[in-house]
């Protein structure tokens, strides 16, 4: 399984754009890159998924370079409610395979 | 949006007792998972389940753990003889295919 590496923590202020980068050097050809958000005492919640280039939805953008060895989650104009742990996962070409969480990035948004 | 449902939300048990954690995955999903999270730590994979059998399991998922899908809707995790270190939040998740995982809100297990 591809291992992921993320910063342990990040700090930001309300209204700023936050970019969280994840390294996944041994990503497999069929692997997708998926980001989840987790609030305390809640289950992880899907944010965005991509395979290559750029993906955007209503809450975030995901940038994936051509070599796919890293990815960057971009949160535009964060608010206090975006304070959470963000996990980058790699895998999932078939549902049989486990999706393994790394240590995640703890984002703290200040007023 | 459809939800994964877990019961109970909290479970307190004595060391050595058996516990069963219950989950109702989203109805048209094919793949089912159990994860756990010890307080302050990362989410850890336990087991994946597909077509009525275990697909993959982690080192944590030893002989004390078992999973079942006794009917068309429920997916259970049993811990036969609980230990103090089994205290954690247990999350059930499901997915239709190679798409996103849907997580339940978890069962907080406390072993005394």
> Does A1 score more than 60 pLDDT?
no
Residue B112 burial (C-beta neighbours within 10 Å; 0-12, 13-18, 19+): exposed
Which A-chain residues 5-34 have CB contacts (< 8 A) with chain B?
32, 34
Which A-chain residues 75-94 have CB contacts (< 8 A) with chain B?
87, 92-94
**pLDDT band (50, 70, 90) for residue A94:** low
CA distance B7 to A58: 31
**Which of B56, B98, B106 is opposite residue A93, by nearest beta carbon?**
B98
Q: Is B101 in Cβ contact with A36 (below 8 Å)?
A: yes
pLDDT at residue number A100: 81
pLDDT at residue number B1: 78
CA distance A20 to A22: 7
pLDDT at residue number B97: 78
Q: Is A96 in Cβ contact with B45 (below 8 Å)?
A: no
Q: Taking residues A7-18, report their average pLDDT.
A: 97
Q: How far apart are the first and last CA of chain A?
A: 38
* Per-residue model confidence as pLDDT tens digits over B49-97: 988 899 999 999 999 999 999 887 899 999 999 999 999 999 999 988 7
Angle at A81 (CA atoms; ends A79, A87), nearest 5 degrees: 100
Q: Best mutation site among A2, A57, A99, A105 for testing chain B: the one with the most B CBs within 10 Å?
A: A99
Q: Is B98 in Cβ contact with A43 (below 8 Å)?
A: no
Q: Taking residues A32-50, report their average pLDDT.
A: 93
Q: Taking residues A70-75, report their average pLDDT.
A: 97
Contact criterion met (CB below 8 Å) for B46 and B58: yes
**Residue B43 forms contact with A (CB below 8 Å):** yes
Contact criterion met (CB below 8 Å) for B63 and A64: no
Backbone angles phi, psi at A80, to 5 degrees: -55, -35
Q: Is the dihedral of CA B23, B18, B66, A1 positive or negative?
A: positive
Query: What's B7-28 look like in SS3?
Result: ECCEEEECCCCCEEEEEECCCC
């Amino acid at each position: 399984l591809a291992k992921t590496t993320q910063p342990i923590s990040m700090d930001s202020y309300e209204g700023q754009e936050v970019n969280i980068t994840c390294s996944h050097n041994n990503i497999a050809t069929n692997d997708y890159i998926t980001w989840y958000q987790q609030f305390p005492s809640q289950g992880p919640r899907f944010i965005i998924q991509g395979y290559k280039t750029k993906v955007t939805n209503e809450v975030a953008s995901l940038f994936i370079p051509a070599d796919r060895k890293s990815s960057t989650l971009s949160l535009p104009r964060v608010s206090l409610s975006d304070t959470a742990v963000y996990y980058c996962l790699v895998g999932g070409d078939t549902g049989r395979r486990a999706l393994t969480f790394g240590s995640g990035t703890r984002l703290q948004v200040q007023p | 949006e459809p939800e994964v449902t877990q019961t109970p939300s909290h479970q307190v048990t004595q060391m050595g007792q058996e516990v069963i954690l219950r989950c109702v995955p989203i109805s048209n999903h094919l793949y089912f998972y159990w994860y756990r999270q010890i307080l302050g730590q990362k989410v850890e994979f336990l087991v994946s389940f597909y077509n009525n059998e275990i697909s993959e399991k982690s080192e944590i998922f030893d002989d004390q753990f078992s999973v079942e899908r006794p009917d068309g809707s429920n997916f259970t995790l049993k811990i036969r003889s609980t230990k103090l270190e089994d205290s954690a939040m247990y999350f059930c998740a499901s997915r239709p295919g190679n798409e996103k995982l849907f997580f339940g809100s978890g069962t907080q297990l406390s072993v005394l």
